[in-house]
Amino acid sequence: MLDKNVVIAHRGASGYAPEHTFASYDKSHFDMHADYIELDVHMTLDGEIIVMHDESIERTALTPGIIKEMTLQEIKQLTIGKWFNEKYPELKSAYYEEQVVPTLKDIFERYGDANYYIETKSPDIYPGMEKLLIDTLDAFGLVSEARLQNRQTVIQSFSVESLIKVNQIKPNFPLLMLAKKGVLRNMSDDELRKIHEFVYAVGPSIADLDEALIERMHNIGFLLFPYTLNKEEDMERFINAGIDGAFTNYPDLLRKQFRLDNGEVFE
């Protein structure tokens, strides 16, 4: 069961390659051996699940457009790496400029039975997203009893309503509740215990993280995986404070910090 020293590749190895592309996921999965591939999912106009962070394509495709108003064919004509080369010239690659938007099926066909963290993005604007997501996972054999017991496939969201829908469709599915700054602190223990009845872990912003919050979440029974842990000094500090793992754009650095915490020596 993946519950300790967990490295979750946030949008892939997105500190090194364009987020949510095969370039980024290949690096995190094949080269850096992160424990999980992390995906954000949206739905196209014609009901296909695609992998992208924003509701708009503007930031990464450098052209206007709203995903829910576009067909999969339109989405597939986009390339989404040029922005990365422009923003990070020291990391630029011609290969990155060829990257296209993957569907969820594309991801599963490429990485098979890898471990996945899948975030339902803006689920309120995509009716039926949760059912389609579960059906797609099931079609690829990613909701077997063994996988769910070992938390190899996890669904996460900032929307408690979306997590409730997943739980209603597939009871006992491993769920993580993401939380913006202040959300967990402003919830009572009783409210959190109610959520813990169907949610096994929380993902707070590192802007909201300290030892007291980590201890409180653990006392309620949650595992704790903060986002997004990118600086080595923060990694060291929060590992020492007791986090169970983290989302990171730099899977190799987080893995190294966990290994250092375990007493391994690097030449």
- The catalytic site residues sit at 10, 53
Contact 117, 38 (CB under 8 A): yes
Three-state SS for the chain is CCCCCEEEECCCCCCCCCCCCHHHHHHHHHHCCCCEEEEEEEECCCCCEEECCCCECHHHHCCCCEHHHCCHHHHHCCCCCHHHHHHCHHHCCCCHHHCCCCEHHHHHHHHCCCCEEEEECCHHHCCCHHHHHHHHHHHCCCCCHHHHHCCCEEEEECCHHHHHHHHHHCCCCCEEEEECCCCCCCCCHHHHHHHHCCCCEEEEEHHHCCHHHHHHHHHHCCEECCECCCCHHHHHHHHHHCCCEEEECCHHHHHHHHHHHCCCCCC
> Rounded to whole angstroms, how far apart are CA atoms 144 and 159?
25
Contact 30, 247 (CB under 8 A): no
